[in-house]
Amino acid sequence: MQRVASLIHLNAARSLKLTGKGVGIAVFDTGIGRHPDLTMPGTRLQAFVDIVNHRKDYYDDNGHGTHVAGLVAGDGTASMGKYRGAAPGCGIIALKVLDRYGNGSQDDVLRALRWIREYRQQYRIRVVNISVGTTCNSKRNHARLLESVEQLWDEGVVVVTAAGNQGPRPGSITAPGSSQKVITVGSSDLLEGRSAISGRGPTAECVCKPDIVAPGNKIMSCVPGKPYSYGVKSGTSMSTPLVTGAIACALEKNPALTNTDI
């Protein structure tokens, strides 16, 4: 009952036309591309950090990160408001931790987490969206990743992670979504049937996961480049930013909420 009540509360926040204004959201992904919904003058891109190639100007050589950022914060400019993100008024801090093929290293994610700890006050980062996961089977091999994510949580940041697309077998939650502290998001429409891929618990510590689910199948969002357009992607990567945006709206309504309150 508690989780149902929480979901109703967040949906109510959106019905009040909250936009996540003033809330900083860090997005760990493939970067962010030029799109009027996100990066045109006056929009919400506040910082871009290229952990992979160390380039200064923002870009997305894969497209996944732009799609995720659009689901968090796109304002629908290119679609006349038809395709908007969950929190179009929030600030986006994009950290590129994956390469053009969508691959990355644990060390790069750890560097990004250290960057957040150093600059989160400057950019008013309240939420971190991690639509990224490792399929490593050994707890020992991703212990540093879990420790770093949980340290960020302990410092008061809301960390929202994808359950991963290795399901639906039990124990298929990817790290860092396997952390018992963070909010792990599964895909409500990819849990059953032929298209079932959403990760399921329990984790190695017998923690029930995911914590919440949201739509993730054939979700429309921003595509980088010109002409400015939209495209469809599926997976728990798409479910996660919807929850992240809802959390930003809740924090806009009541900035005093802590990550444990959320």
SS3 sequence of the chain: CHHHHHHHHHHHHHHCCCCCCCCEEEEEECECCCCCCCCCCCCCEEEEEECCCCCCCCCECCCHHHHHHHHHHCCCHHHCCCCCCCCCCCEEEEEECCCCCCCCCHHHHHHHHHHHHHHCCCCCEEEEEECCCECCCCCHHHHHHHHHHHHHHHCCCEEEEECCCCCCCCCCCCECCCCCCCEEEEECCCCCCCCCCCCCCCCCCCCCCCCEEECCCCEEEEECCCCCEEEEECCHHHHHHHHHHHHHHHHHHCCCCCCCCC
Identify the pLDDT of residue 41: 58
Mean pLDDT of the chain: 90
Is residue 127's pLDDT more than 50? Answer: yes
Identify the pLDDT of residue 2: 34
Least confidently predicted of 38-47, 72-81, 199-208: 38-47
Q: How confident is the model at residue 5 (pLDDT cuts 50, 70, 90)?
A: very low
Q: How confident is the model at residue 247 (pLDDT cuts 50, 70, 90)?
A: very high
Q: How confident is the model at residue 3 (pLDDT cuts 50, 70, 90)?
A: very low
The residues annotated with a catalytic role in the active site are 29, 64, 237
Q: What is the sign, positive or negative, of the torsion defined by CA atoms of 135, 136, 139, 140?
A: negative
Is residue 7's pLDDT more than 50? Answer: no
> Do the Cβ atoms of 203 and 170 come closer than 8 Å?
no
Q: How confident is the model at residue 15 (pLDDT cuts 50, 70, 90)?
A: very low
Residue with more model confidence, 192 or 19: 192
Query: Considering the entire predicted model, what is its pTM?
Result: 0.91
Identify the pLDDT of residue 42: 59
